[in-house]
Structure 1
Amino acid sequence: MQSTGFWAGAGRWAGRAGVALLSLIALGIGVSFLMVAVYRFVPPPATALMAWRGIQGETIRYHYAPLEEISPYLARSVIGAEDSRFCQHNGFDVEAIRKAIREAEQGARLRGASTLSQQTAKNAFLWPGRDWVRKGAEAWFTLLIETAWPKRRIMEVYLNIAEWGDGNFGAEAAARAWFGKTAADLSPREAAMLAAVLPNPNEWRLDPPGPYVSGRAGTLQSRAGTVRAQSLDACLF
């Protein structure tokens, strides 16, 4: 009888735990849908990375600007730097992923193949890090924003919450801090310089730019011209 009672109690506990887990998952899904729906129209008030930088003692500067108030040179430079198939893929660049895997199999260092959509999902909704839980959540939010947001909105949010060093988040804050002008007035060279430091904005400086950043900016300025000439920005303009 005691054995039967034990297993019955264990079964009830497992059942309650299962219900609690399913409820938690359902709550997470519901919250994610709600956040994506709200951010479709409302600027994100802050991000987890902004909060973390604030805890580290940085003064956060964040000025949200609609896409039409950001120089198209910047969007084109970012596409050239980070995601040339941004307007063609549905959130994941399968070709880039396959290429990265092939290069790794040949002995090269495994490089990232995340799209601008994935980076937007990560920056807007998630915490900094590289663990598998966060990567799974990133994939989920990427699917959601690609379904619920137009590409223009994805680019707008990306350009507004990207980190550009020294507590500057978004194109408007970065343009004011580094060039003393609005994001709308960025020149092709200035836009390319901002895109050049995106992978590591706290180490690749703009004040003044080093040889690497200057050279990469020149490359990205040329790529931005290609983006426009080949209509790789057709989903934006």
Structure 2
Amino acid sequence: MIAKPAAAPRRRRSRWFRWPIRILIGFVLFSLFFVALYRFVPPPVTTTMILDGNGITKDWMPLSQMDPDMARAAIAGEDSRFCSHHGFDAVAIAQALRHNASGGRIRGGSTISQQTAKNVFLFQGGGFIRKGFEAWFTLLIEAIWGKKRIMEVYLNVAETGIGTYGANAGAMRYFHHDATRLTKAEAARIAAVLPLPKKRAAIAPGGFTRRYGNSIAARIGVVQRDGLDSCLRD
């Protein structure tokens, strides 16, 4: 008879335990919905674009219409194992950790898939918490989108200059023609800007950007010859 009042506290504890589960289920359903939607619909805007005080210049172009050297340049400059990994490149991560431990310029180990997940669904910065969400969205886009769609979205939402997003908008800004026709040098220069788009320019680049662009241009042929872009070919 005396033990009955304990039932109410147990019910309250049960309600508190149910809320995290509901939030988790809601987040999973929410993320699945938008990942599935963007498999077919271009993402209209990203958090990076919204927070960009320089305005937004973008012009979506399907990957099938874009010069193939643009994707090859992105692979050469950003993620040489793009077609062979499943979203995470263990080799690149290990190399980045060893490099960063030795000091000097900080190097990341993010793949194009990870960068796409971050650009479309998350925000810049945020540390380990954002990295955790980034990993979740990377797994989803690898499973639902596939490599062609990941590259297509990446080359349309990545920042290619101040207030400029996507390879097509970058080509118009720097070379005054669209991305349907790019020389290897032009594609490489756009790819060289991607890591630091607010500090680098693809037109008349100097110093590190020029050397990096030349290096990427030289590797575009290697990407094609060795089939490193095989997952993007019809």
TM-score class, shorter = over 0.9
1:39 corresponds in structure 2 to: 38
Q: Give the unaligned 5+ runs of structure 2.
A: none
Between the aligned partners of 1:211 and 1:98, the Cα distance in structure 2 is 28
Cα distance, 1:159 vs structure 2 = 0.2
Corresponding residue number in structure 1 for 2:169: 173
The alignment's TM-score, normalised by the length of structure 2, stands at 0.92
Distance 1:25 1:154 in 2: 25
Quote the Cα distance in structure 2 between the aligned partners of 1:212 and 1:104: 19
Letter in 2 for 1:218: N
Q: Distance in 2 between matches of 1:104 and 1:192?
A: 25
1:186 matched to 2:182? yes
Deviation of residue 197 (structure 1)? 1.1
Maintained 8 Å contact 2:60/2:168 = yes
1:89 corresponding residue in structure 2? 85
Distance in 1 (CA, whole Å) between partners of 2:9 and 2:162 is: 54
The residue that corresponds to 2:228 in the other structure is 232
* Residue equivalent to 1:22: 21
- The structural deviation recorded for 1:98 is 2.0
Shift of 1:191: 0.5
What per-residue deviation string (whole Å, max 9, x for no partner) do you get for residues 12-32 of structure 1?
A: 443222211111110000011
Q: Render the CA deviation track for 1:33-91: whole Å, top value 9, x for unaligned.
A: 111100111110111100010xx2x1211111100121111111110111000000000
- How far, CA to CA, are the matches of 2:138 and 2:126 in structure 1? 16
Gaps of 5+ in 1: none
TM-score with structure 1 setting the length = 0.91
Task: Find the aligned partners of 1:199 and 1:8 in 2 and give their Cα distance.
Answer: 58
SS in 2 for 1:185: coil
Give the alignment of 1:112-191 within 5 angstroms: 112-191=108-187
For the residues of structure 1 that align with 2:109 and 2:128, how far apart are their CA atoms? 15
* In structure 2, C-alpha distance between the alignment counterparts of 1:109 and 1:59, rounded to whole Å: 30
Q: CA deviation at 1:171?
A: 1.1
The yes-or-no answer on 1:62 pairing with 2:58 is yes
Q: What's the % identity of the aligned pairs?
A: 45
For the aligned residues, what is the CA RMSD? 2.1
Instruction: Check the 8 A contact 2:192/2:202 in 1, yes or no.
Output: no
Q: Deviations over 1:142-185 (max 9, x none)?
A: 00111111211100000000001221111111111111000111
**Alpha-carbon distance, 1:207 to partner:** 4.1
Deviation per CA, 1:96-118, whole angstroms, max 9, x where unpaired? 12222333455566521010000
Cα distance in 1, alignment partners of residues 95 and 160 from structure 2: 28
Distance in 2 of aligned mates of 1:215 and 1:103: 20
Matched residue type, 1:177 = R
Q: Hey, what's the Cα distance between the residues in 2 that align with 1:231 and 1:115? A: 18
